[in-house]
Amino acid sequence: MTKRQKRIYAVAGLVVGVGVAAALGFTAFRKNMMYFYTPSDLIAGDVPVGANLELGGLVEKGSLVRAEGLKIQFSVADCAKAVPVRYEGVVPDLFREGQGVVATGHMGDDHVFVATRILAKHDENYMPPRVAESLKSEDGKHSCAPFKSVAANAG
Amino acid sequence: MWTWFHRLASPPTFYRLANLLTPWLLALALALLAIGVYGGLYLAPADYQQGDAFRIIYVHVPAAALSLSIYMTMAVAGGIALIWRMKLAEIAVVTAAPIGASFTALALITGMLWGKPTWGAYWVWDARLTSELVLLFLYLGVIGLNQAYSDARTAARACAWLALVGVINVPIVHYSVQWWNSLHQGSTILSIDGIAKPKISGPMLWPLLLTLAGFYLFFGAALLRRMQNEVLLREKNARWVQELFAI
């Protein structure tokens, strides 16, 4: 084996080795890499009890109720399940029914998720309002596909 | 073919070729950027839900794309430098790093400015944002490592190894939004289903493609210029450099 061949093997070995190590590491820690849980995870009880966590999903159509002041209640849904959420405070401009959101908070004793922060999660589609109007599905909802169950995906 | 390759790899030939190429790259880059920015900021319609805030895409997406492409360039050059001991590849590794770090920082900053009005937060620790920050640290690592050696060639080879170790982060950044739940949305342009059904309407898309091309050409010009400087510095005692600057 020439010196150059040795160097080729060293470089290829390094890249492949780091790749395998990363793949193994990320498979093992997949759950911890998820930014949020989904309503399905919460209902199935696959979340740390009483802990502060992120809940992601779509604001269900027709579920948004505004109480006095800045208090709101609504449901967050993935493709399968929905969880009621209570929140008091300012919401992002993009917050509306049908929009993706990520809520930080904890599950209350009354099975209502008490949020302390609401972030909007928009999708990767961009279009002028006119086009959006003509494309609108019956419920005007965004895709629930980005909200994947942590338990089902990470085992 | 190999003689052509070897001649290109010789510093004086590279220097002259880069001298010819750089002004054209730069002129074309500025022209594309001018048209792209005009198209993006004035001609493109506002987005149906983000309004005018989406227009930062014309800087954010090209900067983010380059942050990954420059790292790939650095890693490929690193591999060539380590295996074939090619001087120009070593120079490419160390000179690409500061450009890559700049574009990564630009992608992070424009992303934060975009995140605040749309998501409601400048920063969250989701997989995309965190891996892009790691990318910035990798670039800074290469820059720092290069400064740590007194011998330029030893430094470049150490940088090449680091570039190769870090290249695993490039697919992680790109696929982070698919592999893990994240606040950051998926890819608009580089996605399989986006080819069949575009995720961005035409009048918004073409300025983005122009600024993308403009950014890439600008990177080409910047890299060639930086490599030229480095070649001059390393070969300052060679005859061709002396002749170049003979009065």
Report ipTM (2 d.p.). 0.89
Residue A24 and residue A69 in one domain: no
Question: Considering only CA atoms, which of B96, B59, B48, B56 is closest in space to residue B76?
Answer: B96
Residue A95 and residue A22 in one domain: no
d(CA A13, CA B165): 11
For the stretch B116-171, pLDDT in tens is 999 999 999 999 999 999 999 999 999 999 999 999 999 999 999 999 999 999 99
* Residue to substitute from B43, B47, B49, B124, interface A, most A β-carbons within 10 A: B49
CA distance B247 to chain A (A): 43
Question: Considering only CA atoms, which of A67, A113, A125, A35 is closest in space to residue B176?
Answer: A35
Domain with A117, as residue range(s), is 34-154
pLDDT of residue B1: 62
Q: B182 vs A93: CB contact, 8 Å cut-off?
A: no
- CATH number of the domain at B19-244, please? 1.20.120
CA B70 vs. chain centroid, Å, equals 4
Kindly report the length of chain A.
155
Interchain CB contacts (distance < 8 Å): A and B: 124
Question: Considering only CA atoms, which of B40, B20, B69, B65 is closest in space to residue A126?
Answer: B40
Residue A115 and residue A61 in one domain: yes
Q: A33 vs B187: CB contact, 8 Å cut-off?
A: no
Residue A75 and residue A138 in one domain: yes
Residue A79 and residue A18 in one domain: no
In terms of CA atoms, which chain B residue is nearest residue A37? B181
Average pLDDT, chain B: 93
Strand pairing category for A82-88 and A100-107: unpaired
Query: Which residue shows structure tokens 């019956």?
Result: A138
Q: How many CB atoms lie within 10 A of CB A143?
A: 13
Domain of A140, CATH number, reads: 2.40.50.140
Residue from the list A4, A33, A122 with its beta carbon closest to the beta carbon of B180: A33
pLDDT of residue A141: 59
pLDDT band (50, 70, 90) for residue A138: very low
Cα separation values, A114 from A71, A86, A108, A118, B124, Å: 11, 5, 6, 11, 20
Residue A4 and residue A59 in one domain: no
Residue A74 and residue A112 in one domain: yes
Q: How many CB atoms lie within 10 A of CB B129?
A: 22
For the stretch A12-70, pLDDT in tens is 999 999 999 999 998 888 877 889 999 998 888 878 777 899 999 999 988 999 988 89
Residue A67 and residue A129 in one domain: yes
Of the candidate ranges A102-106, A109-113, B131-135, B208-212, the one whose mean pLDDT is the lowest = A109-113
d(CA B31, CA B27): 6
Residue A46 and residue A108 in one domain: yes
Under a CB-based contact definition with an 8 Å cutoff, are residues A31 and B178 in contact?
no
Residue A80 and residue A107 in one domain: yes
Residue A16 and residue A77 in one domain: no
In total, how many domains does chain A have?
A: 2
DSSP secondary structure letters along B221-238: HHHHHHHHHHHHHHTTTS
Check pLDDT > 60 for residue B76: yes
d(CA B60, CA B69): 14
Q: B49 vs A132: CB contact, 8 Å cut-off?
A: yes
Residue A45 and residue A7 in one domain: no
